[in-house]
Amino acid sequence: MKLLNVAVIGATGIVGKEFITLIEQRNFPVGELFPFASERSLGEFVEYKKKEISIIPLKKENIADKKIDVAFFSAGSAVSKEMASVFSKKGALVIDNSSAFRMDKAVPLVVPEVNGDIVKNMKTGIIANPNCSTIQMVPFLDIVNKHAGIESVFVSTYQSVSGAGKKGIEELKDQVVTLFSGKSSDPQVFPQRIAFNLIPQIGPFYPDGYCEEEVKMINETRKILGIKDLDIDVTTVRVPTFFSHAETVVINTKKECDTAKIKKQIENHSEMILMDDPEELLYPTLIDSSRRNEVFIGRLRSNDTKRRVSAWVVADNVRKGAAYNALRIAETALGVSYE
Ligand SMILES: NC(=O)c1ccc[n+]([C@@H]2O[C@H](COP(=O)([O-])OP(=O)(O)OC[C@H]3O[C@@H](n4cnc5c(N)ncnc54)[C@H](OP(=O)(O)O)[C@@H]3O)[C@@H](O)[C@H]2O)c1
């Protein structure tokens, strides 16, 4: 396998760091690694294969002399909008973790096990990685859709603070310490206090009453599944946990469904793990999925109409919801295999 020169944009962030850990763990065929971040990180370095590699400030002049095959962007949508095309015009395949291009008709939005075929042999251009909450939900929706057809979907999310990046993690830590010291601190990252609280808002509100994260999940799910008029409703909630997101997913189906068959498909799925035995009190929690690449499914059940499936869906937002899905997109597009 040809070695690939890899750029990570946002290499000092939560997603960027996890990405570097993963390419090392999976033995991705890296020629040179170029870790980019902002000017603030000048003098810092990342560790890759026991070597320290200096952070490169993201500027056009620092890219000009480099041959880059694949660039993973996780530095926010403003940076992606400004710089993704600079990398792709130089011949790199850009996998973008931000929301900048997800709804662009010309840009594929991909969860490889659901619609990876659309990027096979795509060696340059831009591919968008979906929102973390969307990524963990659509493989399950896809299974149920193929089994019994989806009539409608209702989702509630329970999203950890790491979804808001390193600043989100710091805010929860600081608030817990401050509150235990008998003091209080004003929220900076989240709209209200997150410690010992739940916040039913992720991102700004739109005039119709939905917040940004809910709109992302609705639009992205429709695009990935290729069902433009999918009847889907979402409520997104920030919870005071550090890593992994959970979701309750309720699907009304067109035909009667057989939960035993759905469970079998999940058990046989390479990217999913079924943890579902109520008698043994077995179901996935955030802790089970942390630092894991798979989506964990439990509490799978159908009501007496047999035209409804409900489940509890858990995954690591930084892994499955970001770095791991992005890496698998690159593997699919560039034909990377590890045999
Ligand atoms: N966290 C998640 O669960 C998650 C999941 C899916 C998608 N995403 C998306 O991934 C992106 C990064 O998220 P994150 O959680 O990793 O955020 P983060 O922890 O806050 O890290 C942000 C990274 O972007 C870099 N950066 C910021 N401004 C920059 C600039 N002007 N030029 C170059 N680099 C710049 C930062 O560098 P410095 O350290 O130098 O500031 C840092 O490396 C966001 O678009 C986010 O929406 C995140």
Over residues 286-320, the pLDDT tens digits come to 999 999 999 999 999 999 999 999 999 999 999 99
Residue type, 73: F
Over residues 271-290, the pLDDT tens digits come to 999 999 999 999 999 999 99
Cβ atoms < 10 Å from Cβ of 149? 14
Best residue for ligand 1 mutational test, from 15, 21, 171 (most atoms within 8 Å of Cβ): 15
Fold: same for 4-130+322-334 and 134-316: no
Phi, psi dihedral angles at 324 (to 5 degrees): -70, -45
Pick the atom of ligand 1 nearest to 58's CA: 33
Domain spans, the chain = 4-130+322-334, 134-316
Supply the residue whose CA is at minimum distance from atom 3 of ligand 1. 163
pLDDT at 339 > cutoff 80: no
Over residues 178-215, the pLDDT tens digits come to 999 999 888 999 999 999 999 999 999 999 999 999 99
pLDDT at 184: 83
Sequence-ordered strand ranges (E) for the chain? 4-9, 30-37, 45-48, 51-54, 56-57, 70-73, 93-96, 125-128, 150-159, 232-235, 245-253, 272-274, 295-302, 308-315
- C-alpha of residue 168 to centroid of ligand 1, in Å: 11
CB 36 within 8 A of CB 7: yes
- C-alpha of residue 266 to centroid of ligand 1, in Å: 32
Sequence-ordered strand ranges (E) for 137-220? 150-159
Question: Helix (H, G, I), strand (E, B), or coil: what is residue 326?
Answer: helix
Supply the residue whose CA is at minimum distance from atom 45 of ligand 1. 76
Task: Look at the domain 4-130+322-334 and name its fold.
Answer: Rossmann fold (3.40.50)
- Its pTM stands at 0.97
Pick the atom of ligand 1 nearest to 39's CA: 40
**101 vs 127: CA distance, rounded Å:** 8
CATH superfamily of 134-316: Dihydrodipicolinate Reductase; domain 2 (3.30.360.10)
Catalytic center residues: 132, 245
Please list every protein residue whose CB sits less than 6 Å from any atom of ligand 1. 10-16, 37-38, 40-41, 58, 74-77, 79, 97-98, 132, 162-163, 165-167, 317-318, 321-322
